[in-house]
Every structure is written in structure tokens, then in C-alpha cells.
Chain A
Amino acid sequence: MVAYVVRRLAWGVVTVLGVLLLLFALFFLYASPEQMARRAVGEKAPPDALQQWIENHGYDKPKVWNPEDPLDTLLFEHYRRMLTFDFGRSDADDSPILDQIRERAVPSLTLTVPLFVIGLVLGIVLSLFVAFFRETYIDRAGIVLAVLGMSVSILLYIIGGQFLIGKLLRWFPISGFDPNPVLIGRFMALPWVVGLLSGVGGDVRFYRTVFVEETGRDYVRTARAKGCGDGRIMARHVLPNSMIPVLTRVVVAIPFLFIGSLLLESFFGIPGLGSMTVDAIQGNDFSTLRVMVFIGALLFILGQIATDVSYTLVDPRVRLE
């Protein structure tokens, strides 16, 4: 197993190198250092100021190839800094990126972790319930509701949620964030509800399919022939055997909890990593952007490995070599 993990990590490193290259290419396809300088310093800034900014931020080097000193290129710098975790400063406001990450991680996690946990439990419980009653009216109604839920754009959930609860009923504020633990719930309630509603349809649809498939298997028939009750069958036989597809879907999502939800944070004014990323994109802030993508890629690869390892925990037939 250790050999497997090591091999996957090595492959992961290669992938990350590829990701960084792609990112570099994409970014410099559409943004030039002049544009970035102008955004940071100001549209009307004199050429010297722009040039100064460019030099300060090290964007005056050739992009890929420098005949005088092959190592003195933007590309090389790009790789060097990322691989040494030297995140540097944001292009937009010169703030140290690492500090920004530390500050913004908490709001993001406050949003995503409870959302994830509740969503997971809710999804599985509802799906077990619906799968248990498969082919009956409960099941059919459940599927229809799930498809209905899946078919509504998250935008509409957000707009609807903000309008209904924020404006009409005035139960919760429609946006903003307060780190005070007592008040957090109030600000998170709406994003949580919106996140849950928009996700539960797709989850139930997926889990139900998995559970129903397992319910039709021979060993379930054996369990019934032994005298197992239906509740016991769902919990002790179906669920444990469904874990592989469930884990595949779930474990990969965990690392991204850290990045936060780009959409929910932007809409609801939550100062987390997600909104920072969106700002970076719209502001051509390459420094910040590459850090976020880099972290995202790392987390993704870790998530993949974690998923594979988790398979061995739930299914004795799986062996990683």
C-alpha cells in the first residue's frame, strides 16, 4: 500500500507540473504585464509608474526563453516559487497572499464544512428511504422531486432565497459575514439553505441509483430469506456495499471545502477564499490566481489518493498495489 501511495504522489507531482504549465499559458494568453500594471496602479498612470510596477513584481522578464540566462524567465520563476511554496504578494493590492489565505480560510470553512456534512447525511438518509420504497409511490415522488430540485439553476435558488427569506420574511440577512461565533449562524443560514436545496436533488438521484442497484442483488435476497427486516437490510447490507461509489463522490469533494464555494461566497458577500479567487480572476491578479489553482490541484490529488485508500477500508476485496 505504501508503494502505491508513493507512486500516486509521484504521479501527482507530474500532474501538478502540468497544471502549472497550463495555468501559465492560459493566463499570459489573455493578460499582459501592462494590463496588470494598469489595473493595479491605475488606468491613467504615467508609463514610468507602470514600468516601475512591472519591474517590482518581476514581470519584466521574458516569458519563456531568455537567451542570456535560461533561468531568468517568468516561467522558471513561476515554477520555482510555487514549488517552494513562496506565494509572494497579490498583484492587486500587494498584500501577502499567505496571510490572506490564513484570514479567509475560516469564513470559507465555516460555510462549506457544515454544508457538506449536513448535505451528506441528508442525502444518504433520504436516498435510503426512497430506495427502500423502490417502485412505490414514495419512490416515484422522490425521484420527481429530486429531478425538479436538480433542474433549478442555483442562481434561481439564490435569487429566490434572498428575495423570500431576506426581503419578504426577513428571517436572515441576505449577505455578509460576522466572525462572532454567536452571529455566524444568522449569516450562514441562507447560504446553507441555498447550498443544501440546490445540491440535495442531484445527491438523492445519484445515491438512490446506487442503493437501488444494491437492493436488487442476490445477497440481499439471502438476507431476506434468513429473516432480516428491511431496516436492517438497508443499514447493514445495502449501505456498506454501496460505499465505493458513495466514497468516490464524497471524498474528492472534501479537499475543495477548503477553497470554499466560489458562487455562494460571491453572492452572499462572505469574505472567504472563494470570493478571493473570483476577485483575482476579474482583477487579472495572476499571483493570487496561481496560488489558488496550485493549492486546488494539490488538494485534488490528495483527495484522489485518500479516496483510493478509503476503498480499502470499506471493501475487503480492494487491494492497492
Chain B
Amino acid sequence: MSEAVLSVRDLVTSFPIGDRRVPVVDAVSLAVAPREVLALVGESGCGKSVTAHSILRLVPRPGRIDAGSIRLAGRDVLALPVKEMREVRGRVAAMIFQEPMTSLNPVQTVGDQVVEAIRLHERLSRRAARARAAELFESVRIPDPHERIDAFPHQLSGGLKQRVMIAMALALRPQLLIADEPTTALDVTIQAQILELLRELQREFATAILLITHDLGIVNELADRIFVMYAGKIVEEGGREDVLARPRHPYTQGLLRSIPSLARRDEPLAEIPGVVPPPAAWPAGCRFSTRCPRVIERCHGEMPEMTSLSERQRARCWVVADEVGR
């Protein structure tokens, strides 16, 4: 089996809250195989975005990566000097962000921004780089690519801007594309188009994708494997089928149950009682214990370990551990 494109082990990233440092990413481990799509799912505030930012060492101050290891295409990211890290960014792994509206430089043409991405890593003349940018615009299905090259971001719609972001990210054919909520800020119809685009490009460019999202619908469309995150920890992981059809962790079960369904339209909407605790107020033991319908005594005192349910599926829960034990 070929080596994983991305291998994250026990990553801890902390932020100062009040006068303590809180690990908003608390010993997270995941691995993405070449050409695989891995979805990292969770609600706002669970730490999934910070995880993504940590991979390219983009965590904004005062955040800080405290522990763990990150290996990208065999290189130890956390040990790289800044200069080499800059080479990694964009070339080995690239990232696209949630808000296309503000993620592009407003005073530069979109073409110039893609050209910059190219020329940061390859010695090409401006002309050649521009030609490459036009090709990329075609690949991401931007209509009239040769005119659009000279457009400014404010002249483009949200969907087009996101396509530009994708073009910029794939310009150097990175092995991994980190997509942080790529469709959240877009209209529903545009969302579908962008997802479609991502799926095609993933095949065409043979890229692996780490997809960060809170939307289980998208996950169903794109993902090969799913990691579910809650309050800084991975609580369940497995293949798409397994996690979506046979979730084992009470949180995942709650999430899937709360999706409105036509089949159950006469029933009241199911919901997970309570709210996600803020990092400053995480309960001791399992962090889902305060809202879990299947909570037992042990959950309040001890943080559960991961229990293997099959070759690929694991869940972090004492109740599940007991079930498997039997």
C-alpha cells in the first residue's frame, strides 16, 4: 500500500482563553491516502477548521501547535524551516477556504493572483504563467476564461470566485487539496455545481481531498471516508457507508437523526438536547457526556479510548466499548 499523502498523529493545537491555553484540537489523528476523499465532519467550534489550518501551519496567532506530528508526502511538516514550508504550501498541498468573497485580493485581477501562485513555485515567464492560468480557468469551467483572466474579484459571482480559488489551488497539481467548507457560503444550486466540479477535478488531477464540512449531505456526495469530530476530539471514523448507514457513536447517531427526512415528516424534528460546550467549559471525561442519551457513570470520569468496530470503523465511546466487549 502506498504511503499516505497526509498523516496526522496526536495533533494538539491550543489557543489562549482567559489565562489558560485550551487545546481546541486535542490529540487528533487522521490519515489520507493518495486520491482519497476524507471528510472531517462536525459542528461549528469543534476544531475541524483549526485542524485543517494546522496542516499547513496557518494557525493564526495567538494559536499554537503544541504537540503531535504531521507528515505531508513523507515530509515532517512541523520540523520544516519556514522557507521550505513555503514551498510545500501550494505545491505539495493547497487549501481553499470558506468565504470566496473575501479570500481573494480585491485590488488584483484574478488572473494575476493565479499567476502569482504559479510563479511562486515554478520559473515561468509571465506569459507562460498566464497561459497556464487560462487553461486552469477552462478546467474549472469558468466561461470566457480569456476575458475573465483580467477581471477583478468584485466583478465575479460567488460561484465563479470559488472556481478561481480552486484553479489557484490546483495550479501546481498538489497531492492534497484541503477544502475548508468550500460550499457553505454559496447558494444551494451553485453548491451542487462546485461539488460536481470538485469530484471531476479530483479524478482528473488525481488529488486527495481533505474536506472540512458540517453538511452531511455534501459528505454523502464526495467522501470515501468520514471522520466525525466533537469538542476537539475525533469521536468516530470509518468508510462512508459504515458511518452514514451504521453510525455507532451516540453523537453521530444524533447528527444523522436530526436531518429532516421526508419519510418522517409527521414526526417532530429530532434534536440533540443542550448545546456544544465551549472550550473553556469542557466537561471532564467524555465531552459529549452532558448531552448523551446513552450516558453511563464511567463517561463522566474518564475520556474514552477509540474502540475498533471493524477494520476501518472506530468509535470513542464507553458504551460502544462495552457492546464490543460482550
Contacts and interface: CB of A to CB of B under 8 A. Distances in A.
B35 interface: no
Interface in B61-93: 61-62, 86-91
A237 B89 contact: no
B178 to A, nearest CB: 9
Contacts of A314: 107
B90 A316 contact: no
A170 interface: no
Contacts of A236: 116
A316 B154 contact: yes
Contacts of A226: 89-90, 94, 116-117, 120, 168
A225 to B, nearest CB: 4
Given A227-B87, A229-B86, A317-B152, A222 B107 contact: no
Interface in A215-254: 216-219, 221-229, 236-237, 240-241
A94 interface: no
Given A216-B60, A222-B104, A225-B58, 11 more contacts: A218-B102, A219-B106, A221-B97, A222-B165, A225-B97, A226-B89, A227-B88, A240-B105, A241-B106, A316-B107, A316-B152
A134 B61 CA distance: 9
Taking chain A's interface residues, is the majority helix, strand, or loop, or is none over half, making it mixed?
helix
26 contacts: A134-B61, A135-B61, A218-B97, A218-B102, A219-B104, A219-B106, A221-B58, A222-B165, A224-B89, A225-B56, A225-B90, A225-B94, A226-B116, A226-B120, A226-B168, A227-B86, A227-B88, A227-B89, A227-B90, A227-B91, A228-B86, A228-B116, A315-B106, A316-B106, A316-B107, A317-B154
Interface in B105-133: 105-108, 116-117, 120-121
Contacts of A218: 97, 99, 102-103
B120 A227 contact: yes
Nearest to A222: B103
Interface residues of B, number: 30
Nearest to A228: B120
Contacts of B62: 135
A219 B86 contact: no
B74 to A, nearest CB: 19
Interface string A302-321: 00000000000011110000
B149 interface: no
A228 B82 CA distance: 11
Contacts of B105: 219, 222-223, 237, 240-241
A231 B266 CA distance: 60
A223 B117 CA distance: 8
B102 A219 contact: yes
Interface residues of A, number: 23
B50 interface: no
A103 to B, nearest CB: 44
Given A227-B120, A241-B106, A222 B86 contact: no
B283 to A, nearest CB: 31
Contacts of B91: 227
Contacts of B56: 225
A222 B106 contact: no
B21 to A, nearest CB: 15
Contacts of A315: 106-107
Interface string A77-92: 0000000000000000
Contacts of A135: 61-62
B288 to A, nearest CB: 31
Contact of A240 (B97, B107, B120): B107
Contacts of B152: 316-317
Contacts of B168: 222, 226
B168 to A, nearest CB: 7
B28 interface: no
Nearest to B89: A227
B107 A224 contact: no
Nearest to B154: A317
Contacts of B22: none
Contacts of B89: 224-227
Given A227-B87, A227-B89, A219 B103 contact: yes
A315 B94 CA distance: 28
B106 A317 contact: yes
A239 B116 CA distance: 17
The CB with the most chain B CB atoms within 10 A, among A227, A315, A316, is that of: A227
The CB with the most chain B CB atoms within 10 A, among A216, A225, A229, A317, is that of: A225
